[in-house]
Structure 1
Amino acid sequence: MDPKQEATLSYALLTDPARADICRALLEAGEDGMPAADLAAAVGLNLRRAGRIFQELLQADIVALTVRDRQVCYSLKARREIRQALGYIEDSGLLS
């Protein structure tokens, strides 16, 4: 996939409020990210729904998965770019 297609996919993914909330929570969590269960709870989703979103964000190469202390943890791969994308989407009124 070329960079323009990747950027379009990232913007499309981030226009979903639940995905955007997860990315915002990961921005606040810092570079180490946070455990999946804590992340789901922080954005008010059950773990099953959050798991589907985590999978979508993994496939889009937006988040990274690591295992720490027997917990699945997620972190953002391109924090600065995601922050900018979320800002653009919010300012443009694209967030549904």
Structure 2
Amino acid sequence: METDQESTLTYALLTVPARAAICRALLEAGEAGMPAFDLAGVAGLSLPRASHHFNELMQADVLALVVRDRQVIYVLKARRAVSLALEYLDSGGLS
């Protein structure tokens, strides 16, 4: 079960538009995840700038990194928490 601290952290991370875009794309991608380059494009960021956001999300235990066929792939670890956080933000939460 998710703690209040985890929930608060997830909401805080997702209030950054680029991070929310990354998480939305990964929710849609499902278990297959997405390559770092593609996620950077979805978020409208250069790969070096996106890497900062990937690292923040990984430190918060929201993302996991997988290497497949010499590609860096990111997948969501906290699918339920991210989905709930995005639903909350979409409904006007924190505005």
- Distance in 2 of aligned mates of 1:21 and 1:44: 9
Aligned residues: 94
Gaps of 5+ in 2: none
Distance 2:71 2:16 in 1: 26
Equivalences for residues 11-22 of structure 1 within 5 A: 11-22=11-22
Alignment partner, residue 24 of structure 1: 24
- Which residue in the other structure is 1:38 paired with? 38
How far apart, in 1, do the equivalents of 2:42 and 2:69 lie? 20
- The alignment's C-alpha RMSD in Å is 1.6
Tell me which residue corresponds to 1:58.
58
Q: Distance in 1 between matches of 2:55 and 2:4?
A: 22
Percent identity of the aligned residues? 64
* TM-score between both structures, scaled by the size of structure 1: 0.89
Give the gaps of 5 or more residues in structure 1.
none
Deviations 1:20-58 (A, max 9, x none): 000001111111101101111122111011000000000
TM-score for the superposition, normalised by structure 2: 0.90
Which is further off, 52-61 or 83-92?
Answer: 83-92
1:88, distance to aligned residue in structure 2 (A): 0.4
CA–CA separation in structure 2 for the residues paired with 1:83 and 1:5: 16
Partners of 2:79 and 2:93 lie apart in 1 by 21
| Displacement of 1:90 | 1.7
